[in-house]
Amino acid sequence: WAQCNMDMYSIENMKKREALKGRTGLKGVIAIFWNMIDADKSGRICKDEYVMMSTAIHMALVPDHDPSDLEAAVEDWASDSKGKDHMNEDDFFDAMFELADVWTDSAREDDYVAFLMMILKAVSEL
């Protein structure tokens, strides 16, 4: 997996990528993450829950990452929570879609799903 293929930023590819947000398979795999992180089923997650998941994801993507370095996760929280003290499922979906969008080198739903499933497997094994 590679980050940020500039070919994906053409108008045509941006439209294709945006259309993926409504796809059932993508929604389903992100829902699996949501159900893991929203363990208390409150419909919202706090910063600590997000930082824990984000750090685990970062460790899966960057194996030599120092797990005690939470700076990137904290910075991501500020953006992904949209300035709130919590994230709801829609906010979380947007954050996970953005993660897949940055790390996936196509505008195909199956590639986004495969990437997220790889992350899910890696996070589950930590």
- Cβ proximity of 77 and 53 under 8 Å: no
Region 42-48: mean pLDDT is 95
Q: Which of 17-31, 59-73, 101-115 has the lowest mean pLDDT?
A: 59-73
Percent of the chain residues topping a pLDDT of 70: 90
Task: Say if residue 1's pLDDT is above 50.
Answer: no
* Residue whose C-alpha is closest to residue 55's, from 38, 68, 46, 45: 68
When pLDDT is cut at 50, 70 and 90, the band that residue 8 belongs to is: low
- Cβ proximity of 59 and 65 under 8 Å: yes
pTM: 0.85
Residue type (1 letter), 53: M
